[in-house]
Amino acid sequence: MHPDLDKILLTSDEINARVKEIGAEITRDYQGESVLMVGILRGAVVFFSELVKNVDLDVRFDFMVVSSYGSSSVSSGEVRIIKDISQPIEGKNVLIIEDIIDTGNTLKNLKRLLLTRNPKSLKICSLLDKPSRRKVEMEGDYVGFTVPNEFVVGYGLDYNEKYRNLPDIGILKPEIYQ
């Protein structure tokens, strides 16, 4: 275990098993159709790369970088597109791949924006869900795990750009981020 962690919340084995299950769910739900999977960078990159290997469909990739924080540590709720997807989504099945649903502000606004582009369908897949922090109504269509209101890192999730490469998801010691 990394010395900056209080404890391991989810082991890599638990995560990998759940990612396989989610991949099977997506494969079943979109059987016979193609899907554009849009990874939200940077946090979702590890989850995205593992998930797509477990989806047995015609899958296309794209990526976005979005922010709702600006220069503040408190979300403004307004989505700023830093890197947009590189292809039109009209008439396509689109699946947003996110690391965590937290307040819901960013995803709600991103979903609203993408719906204006007339996809055939638009769903959200998130590795983690932290409903105790929700500020707006937002549910994932595919969710790996519900987590407590703790500062979690690893498997793509970071604090100050650190810890993304940890294979497990752990709870960061409070003295590290306070």
Length of the chain: 178
- For the CA atoms of 139, 157, 155, 95, the dihedral, rounded to the nearest 10 degrees, stands at 40
User: Checking DSSP bridges between strand 121-129 and strand 93-101, what pairing results, if any?
Assistant: parallel
CA distance 141 to 53: 19
Beta bridge mates, 32: none
For 112-156, the three-class secondary structure string (H helix, E strand, C coil) is: HHHHCCCCCEEEEEEEEECHHHCCCCCCCCEEEEECCCCCEEECC
Classify burial at 151, counting beta carbons within 10 Å of its beta carbon; exposed 0-12, middle 13-18, buried 19 or more.
middle
CA distance 142 to 140: 5
Residues with catalytic function: 102
